[in-house]
Every structure is written in C-alpha cells, then in structure tokens.
C-alpha cells in the first residue's frame, strides 16, 4: 500500500531560522508530489507541486521542495522562516499512472515559529 | 466566488444519531472529495465523486454514505454515528482528474464530535 511519511510531527523554530521538513513515500511508480499548508483556522492551501522536470520546485511564500527519486523523498525547505509561517504542513502524493484522482496525505508537521 | 463551502461548521452528535454534512462548490468543478482529518494521521479519503452521477469509495468508507446531488453539491451522511467518527471533515473539489492532476480546493471543514 502507498504511504506517505512525515517524520517531524512538531517543529519549533525561531524567526530567521532555516526550515526543512521531511517527506518520504513508499510507492515505486511515477508519482505527483505536493505540499499543502493549513494556517490556523483556515483551509488547506496548495504550497507547491511536482509533476515532472526540474526536481527543485519553487512555491509560494519562498518555499521550495526537492524531489529525490532515489530516496523517495520530497522535502520542503525555506531559508528563513517568519512568524507567519506558523501552520501545519502536509505532504501528499498521487499515483500518476492510475485513474485515481485522490491524494494520499502524510500525517502532517506542525510548525511553530517563535518571534 | 465562495469556493468550497461546508455546513455545519460544528456538530455534536450522540452515538446512533444520524446526520448529513453538506458541501457545495461554485467553481464548476467535476470532481469532489470527502476527507477526514484525525490527529497524527493526516487526511484520509472517505469517498470521492469523479463526476456528477458517480461516486467511489476511498480509504475509509465504512460507516458513511455519499450523494452527488448535482455538479455543485456532494453530501456525506453518517447513518448511525459512532465515537470513532469524531473528526474534522473536509470537502474538496477539482476540475477533473484521471491521468491529469488538477489542484484540489478545500472547504473550511466540519468539526464533528460523537459522544
């Protein structure tokens, strides 16, 4: 079965610190990869996505993620976090070679940025 | 555009009671989804509807039924609520799917407690 692992459940950083959140998936076929963010009290929003091509993907608000196929990983990074980045971050995977439209989500990482 | 709307926002049920969660989207999307979000488990797909008139089971369909009333609306019904169904429920929609991914847009969620 396909699964998505986010090993960091709760991360606390000070403003201006660098961020890296891990995401690993277990499916061996072609995948589409996503990071969603959920700010407190708000909807899930798409942060960035990878379909093909350049494995380094840039998203909104200065976030980027790198797809490393050999490691089945899609880690999220930001060089300098802000207090407003406090949110929960979800990695998600879609199998590209099937008709299934739905995403498989990781368990999420709660990021707390201290001023 | 309101995007994806859900009602109610909060609900408390007693074991055995029934209720229907409503979801509507005004983006003319073909596909709609119901997820549940539980602490430490991320979002799990309950049911989805690829297009009007079709529904399919997701990862955790037991105890739920759905109706794709028309292109705009996709409801989730709990016939006999159980404490294990205490969760936050998210509806989402996307333009289409299959081999092509379209971004999923999420509603604000319904927080359900079953006592």
**Residue % of chain B over a pLDDT of 90:** 73
Three-state helix/strand/coil letters over chain A: CCCEECCCCEEEEECCCCEEECCEECCCCCEEEEEEEECCCCCEEEEEEECCCCCEEECHHHCEEEEEHHHCEEEEEECCCCHHHCEEEEEEEEECCCCCCCCEECCCEEEEEEC
Residue in the block written with tokens 């037991």: B62
Tell me which of A6, A21, A33, A102 to substitute to probe the interface with B (most B C-beta atoms closer than 10 Å): A102
Q: Residue B35 and residue B57: Cα distance in Å, rounded?
A: 11
Quick check: B106 contacting A, CB < 8 Å? yes
Task: Using the predicted structure, report yes or no on whether residue A30 has a pLDDT greater than 80.
Answer: yes
Asked if B101 and B92 touch (Cβ cutoff 8 Å), the reply is: no
Q: Residue B23 and residue B41: Cα distance in Å, rounded?
A: 23
The minimum CA-CA distance between A68 and chain B, rounded to whole Å, is 20
Q: Residue B96 and residue B27: Cα distance in Å, rounded?
A: 12
Task: Using the predicted structure, report yes or no on whether residue A34 has a pLDDT greater than 90.
Answer: yes
Q: Residue B53 and residue B22: Cα distance in Å, rounded?
A: 17
pLDDT of residue A27: 82
pLDDT (tens digit per residue) in A66-83: 999 999 999 999 999 999
pLDDT band at A48 (very low <50, low <70, confident <90, very high): very high
Range name among A59-63, B5-9, B42-46 with the lowest pLDDT average: B42-46
Range name among B44-48, B64-68, B99-103, B108-112 with the lowest pLDDT average: B99-103
Bridging pattern class, strands A10-14 and A109-114 = parallel
SS3 B50: coil
pLDDT of residue B80: 96
């Amino acid at each position: 079965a396909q699964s998505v692992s986010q090993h960091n459940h709760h991360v606390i950083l000070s403003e201006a610190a660098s961020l890296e959140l891990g995401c690993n998936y277990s499916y061996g076929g072609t995948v589409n990869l996503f990071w969603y963010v959920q700010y407190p009290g708000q909807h899930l929003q798409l942060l960035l996505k990878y379909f093909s091509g350049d494995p380094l993907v840039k998203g909104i608000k200065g976030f980027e993620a790198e797809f490393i196929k050999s490691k089945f990983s899609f880690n999220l990074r930001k060089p300098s976090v802000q207090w407003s980045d406090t949110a929960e971050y979800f990695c998600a995977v879609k199998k590209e070679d099937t008709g299934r439209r739905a995403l498989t989500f990781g368990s999420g990482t709660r990021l707390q940025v201290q001023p | 555009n309101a995007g994806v709307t859900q009602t109610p926002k909060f609900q408390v049920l007693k074991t055995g009671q029934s209720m229907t969660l409503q979801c509507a989207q005004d983006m003319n999307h073909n596909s709609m989804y119901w997820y549940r979000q539980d602490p430490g488990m991320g979002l799990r797909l309950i049911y989805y509807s690829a297009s009007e008139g079709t529904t399919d089971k997701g990862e955790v369909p037991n105890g739920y039924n759905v109706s794709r009333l028309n292109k705009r609306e996709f409801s989730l019904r709990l016939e006999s609520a159980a404490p294990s169904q205490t969760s936050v429920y998210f509806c989402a929609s996307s333009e289409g799917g299959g081999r092509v991914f379209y971004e999923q847009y999420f509603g604000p969620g319904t927080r359900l407690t079953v006592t």
